[in-house]
């Protein structure tokens, strides 16, 4: 996607009406997603990495199984909104139509719009066993975060999700006003990579059940969070054999769930 198409909705300086001091605010815009010409969802997003976001979003919703299930993207802007026309493979269209639900756009609760308990807590296959990262790899993550959070440094108010290799070197970051969106951007990016394999995914937000399900659907074995998880997140992480680790500030990592 060419970000130049959306320069008019990228972060810009706003002047404090009392002091006259300029400052930068984060961008948040409606993204309307259509699948094969049918309206699917309107999400509130930061207008960056949108192709990766849509791939990750459709993967974690169970609509596609592979990024090649998306045949084409077309992004258009309409006033202060973005429209994404996505062409899905025929094999994905009918199953999506059968499970289609009225999905409310969200930056907070990741289960809004779900109509049944089974959809909220699906019965997914557990992950394969995967070793925990080493303590040195985990302890070295925090010091790398500032150089990867460029948007947050300029405007604040943005969540981030990071991918690090097994030694703890961060290779990519997805940033967004929504914590679920940031993780979807990261997962969409990683799904298209051929040479990074399994590693460590770190999120700056709290960890609740929907983040666990996104990890399981995309077969990611290790989630590290900067805030503690909820009890349900821990229960589900143990059920699915996900490595779930909290990284407190200036304290040793806390392992809440492990796969082996």
Cβ atoms of 241 and 215 closer than 8 Å: no
DSSP characters for 20-78? --EEE----EEEEEEETTEEEEEEEE-SSSHHHHHHHHHHHTTS-SSGGGEEEEEEEEE
Strand partners, 23: 14
Catalytic residue at 112? no
Q: End-to-end CA distance of the chain: give it in Å, rounded.
A: 40
Out of 92, 109, 112, 207, the active site residue is 109
Could you tell me where the beta strands, DSSP code E, fall in the chain? Answer: 13-15, 22-24, 29-35, 38-45, 70-78, 81-88, 159-164, 170-176, 200-203, 222-225, 243-246, 254-257
d(CA 48, CA 174): 9
Known catalytic residues are: 109
């Amino acid at each position: 996607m060419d970000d130049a198409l959306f320069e008019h909705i990228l972060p810009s300086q706003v002047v404090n009406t009392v002091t006259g001091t300029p400052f930068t605010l984060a961008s948040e815009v409606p993204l309307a997603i259509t699948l094969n010409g049918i309206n699917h969802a309107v999400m509130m997003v930061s207008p960056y990495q949108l192709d990766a976001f849509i791939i990750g979003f459709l993967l974690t919703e169970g609509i596609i199984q592979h990024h090649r299930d998306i045949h084409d993207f077309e992004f258009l802007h309409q006033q202060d909104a973005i429209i994404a026309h996505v062409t899905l493979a025929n094999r994905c269209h009918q199953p999506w139509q059968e499970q289609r639900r009225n999905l409310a756009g969200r930056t907070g609760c990741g289960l809004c719009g779900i109509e049944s308990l089974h959809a909220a807590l699906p019965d997914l296959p557990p992950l394969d066993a995967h070793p925990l990262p080493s303590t040195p790899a985990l302890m070295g993550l925090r010091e790398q975060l500032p150089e990867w959070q460029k948007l947050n440094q300029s405007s604040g108010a943005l969540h981030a999700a990071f991918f690090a290799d097994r030694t703890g070197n961060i290779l990519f970051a997805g940033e967004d006003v929504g914590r679920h969106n940031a993780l979807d951007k990261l997962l969409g990016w990683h799904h298209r990579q051929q040479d990074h394999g399994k590693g460590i995914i770190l999120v700056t937000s709290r960890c609740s059940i929907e983040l666990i399900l996104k990890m399981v659907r995309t077969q990611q074995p290790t989630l590290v969070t900067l805030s503690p998880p909820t009890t349900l997140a821990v229960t589900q992480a143990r059920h699915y054999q996900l490595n779930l680790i909290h990284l407190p500030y200036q304290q040793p990592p806390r392992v809440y769930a492990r796969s082996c």
